[in-house]
Amino acid sequence: MYAENYVFKTASLPAGEGIIEENREQLYTLYNYALQLEPERKPELTFSQRMLVNRARQFITKRMRRRVELRQAKQSKKQQRQMRAQLSQKLYEQFKTQIQD
């Protein structure tokens, strides 16, 4: 857009209006380089294509939410097992010290 709005306008000025004639060819070369650097514009999606994209996004988010819930459930079960193991270890050690006394 910068190339279209500024460089091309400057290169297209008539002779004697703020541009040196020897630089005109370099400005057109600069304009061509700038056009090559600009990203291509994506075509507009139709209504049905947008609906498909939205449906796919919803599916992905629902799937990810489900994965997160499953992972949290697994983590909580794992933590419960670890806590039970620690408690049983402590109880075993207390029982062992009571027997030795």
pLDDT in tens, 33-87: 877 776 777 788 899 999 999 888 888 888 898 999 999 999 999 999 999 999 9
| Residue 51, pLDDT score | 92
Q: Rounded to 5 degrees, what are φ and ψ at 19?
A: -130, 140
| Residue 11, pLDDT score | 66
- Please spell the DSSP secondary structure of 30-65, one letter per residue: HHHHHHHHSPPPPPPPPHHHHHHHHHHHHHHHHHHH
Chain-centre distance of CA 21, in angstroms? 47
The residues spanned by each domain of the chain are 2-37, 57-101
| Residue 35, pLDDT score | 75
Measure the CA dihedral 20/22/27/33, to 10°: -170
SS (H, E, C) 15-36: CCCCCCHHHHHHHHHHHHHHHH
pTM: 0.40
Of how many residues is the chain composed?
A: 101
